[in-house]
Amino acid sequence: MIEDKRLTDTELEAITDRITGDWVSRAAVDFADAVAFHESLPPHKRFAAVLENAEAVLCQPRAGVPRLDEHVELLQHLDEEGGADLLPTTIDSYTRDNAYEKAAEGLARSRETDSSELNGFPAVNHGVEGCREVVRRVDAPVQVRHGTPDARLLAAVTLAGGFQSFEGGPITYNLPYTSAYDLETTIEYWQYVDRLCGAYTERGVTINREPFGPLTGTLVPPSIAIAIVTIEGLLAATQGVRSVTLGYGQVGNLVQDVAAVRAMAAIGAEYLPDSVTVTTVLHQWMGGFPRDEARAHGVIGLAGATAALVEPTKVITKSPQEAVGVPTAESNAAGLRTTDQVLRMLDEQSITLDGVDREQALIERSVRSLLDAVYEAGDGDIARGTVRAFDAGTLDIPFPPSDAAAGDVLPARDDDGRVRLLKFGAVALDDETKRIHRARLDRRADTEGRELSFRMVADDVSAVSDGRLIGRPG
Ligand SMILES: CCC[C@H]1O[C@@H](n2cnc3c(N)ncnc32)[C@H](O)[C@@H]1O
């Protein structure tokens, strides 16, 4: 049975030996060379330092194209034309599924046809040297963004390649992404990823870890998202990670989003060890976007305003082409500038919103209740407790692609658009909390003159792409 225990150096080495050899040589990921490369980077290219010394909200896009030169040019464009403070390298879907042969074919086709035949950067195929070339040629810190349940080889390659931040985790890159792995397996895989990040940290190279808070990006109740990213932060801390960015996906109601990011920062500070520096990231709306680019900029603008009000450490931006696919460099840069414009216009204003404190207290109480259930299920061990809590449904997420979560919770927006639970399944929330959710949903039902039903959920799922927040009838 899995347990929340730090891997020994012998175990770390043995797994590195096991996962290298086919696509990447064991020697290529050798610590000595890798640490020397990291130490050659100037301070303004060190991810954790830039993140943790930030004096204003940092903006970071997602971006990745298959060929190396084009990827560097894309990142340089986002830095120079978009003003990105932190840079991504979004990994392609084949690599995320460990399908390195298919990624290799896509990269070859891209080179033959001078086009992008993959939806991201195939870092394993580019290898350690390719990653180092990207890191050398861009002028800001770079983070690996992906969605890989078994991210062990990707981590070994990209960390040896000079990337200093790695997104994801055993729950957040399992439940929303796949039905191929049970939680115990991905917790084991990510204990290796986190131990590798911890091993670099012990060698003087701080590697930042960022759990993927948005999960399915579809009406995820803040308390569930925050409980899950906190668990991943705790698992990472056990393995020696000392820089954790807790992530949360904007739901679109200003009061709830501001309350949620504040709650996430407070819970993170309370639950993670003092040895860990905790930062926060707000993801701009992760649900369906309007196709109309002006409306898409409206969504990005509201996300920018939300970031300006709650001031997370960083905000992950979207582009006006979100509804159509992988954005062009220009469109991706435009999303950054839209965000920056709103941040700057609100920066000098101090605005208070009514109701944030009450919502924050409700969210924090709910998170504590969920985490208590996890610790109880695991007799104090957060890894065991996570597996058992999801098995029991005391921890759960809405609409999971994975059957590792029961999916018995059903969310819907209340009358001012905050995400509540219509059905609770077996989640560990107290009766008072459930009463509050129900009362606020009843108010919406009264306003709309219809029963609480799945119809509301379906209406809410498409509301933003239809140009509003709440899926009102008619
Ligand atoms: C959680 C991931 C979903 C988001 O990730 C964006 N995304 C995926 N792949 C790329 C890419 N290669 N370049 C820029 N953005 C990308 C999508 O648009 C969506 O917003």
- ipTM for the predicted complex: 0.98
Nearest CA to ligand 1 atom 13: 63
The stretch 286-302 carries a mean pLDDT of 98
Q: Which residues pair with 210 in a beta bridge?
A: 167
Distance CA 346, CA 15 (A): 49
Rounded to whole angstroms, the maximal C-alpha distance in the chain is 67
213 lines ligand 1 (CB under 6 A): no
63 lines ligand 1 (CB under 6 A): yes
Question: From the CA of 96, how far away is ligand 1's center (Å)?
Answer: 13
Across the chain, what does the average pLDDT equal?
A: 98
Q: Which residues pair with 283 in a beta bridge?
A: 249, 316
Distance CA 41, CA 207 (A): 13
Question: From the CA of 425, how far away is ligand 1's center (Å)?
Answer: 31
Is 90 exceeded by the pLDDT of residue 212? yes
Reported confidence tier of residue 52, pLDDT bands at 50, 70, 90: very high
Closest listed residue to residue 124, CA positions, set 224, 20, 228, 219: 20
Q: Give the gyration radius of the chain's Cα atoms.
A: 21
Question: From the CA of 352, how far away is ligand 1's center (Å)?
Answer: 33
Whole-model pTM: value is 0.98
Reported confidence tier of residue 398, pLDDT bands at 50, 70, 90: very high
Give the containing element (helix H, strand E) for 244.
Answer: strand 243-249
What pLDDT, on the 0 to 100 scale, is given for residue 143?
98
Nearest CA to ligand 1 atom 8: 326
Is 90 exceeded by the pLDDT of residue 148? yes
Nearest CA to ligand 1 atom 6: 62
* CA of 120, closest atom in ligand 1: 12
The stretch 264-271 carries a mean pLDDT of 98
327 lines ligand 1 (CB under 6 A): yes
Is 90 exceeded by the pLDDT of residue 217? yes
pLDDT in tens, 430-444: 999 999 999 999 999
Question: From the CA of 62, how far away is ligand 1's center (Å)?
Answer: 6
Is 90 exceeded by the pLDDT of residue 128? yes
CA neighbours within 13 Å on the CB side: how many for 206?
19
Question: From the CA of 327, how far away is ligand 1's center (Å)?
Answer: 8
What pLDDT, on the 0 to 100 scale, is given for residue 207?
99
284 lines ligand 1 (CB under 6 A): no
Distance CA 264, CA 337 (A): 27
66 lines ligand 1 (CB under 6 A): no
- The answer to whether 167 is a known catalytic residue is yes
Q: How many helices (H) and strands (E) does the chain have?
A: 17, 10
Percent of the chain topping pLDDT 70: 100
What pLDDT, on the 0 to 100 scale, is given for residue 26?
98
Reported confidence tier of residue 474, pLDDT bands at 50, 70, 90: confident
pLDDT in tens, 322-352: 999 999 999 999 999 999 999 999 999 999 9
Choice among 133, 167, 322, 359 that is catalytic: 167
Q: Among 321, 326, 330, 464, which residue has the most ligand 1 atoms within 8 Å of its CB, making it the best to mutate?
A: 326
Cβ(138)–Cβ(85) below 8 Å: no
* Burial (CB count <10 Å: 0-12, 13-18, 19+), residue 446: exposed
120 lines ligand 1 (CB under 6 A): yes
Question: From the CA of 9, how far away is ligand 1's center (Å)?
Answer: 35
What pLDDT, on the 0 to 100 scale, is given for residue 414?
98
- The answer to whether 450 is a known catalytic residue is no
Q: Which residues pair with 246 in a beta bridge?
A: 280
pLDDT in tens, 180-209: 999 999 999 999 999 999 999 999 999 999
CB atoms within 10 A of CB 28: 17
* CA of 318, closest atom in ligand 1: 20
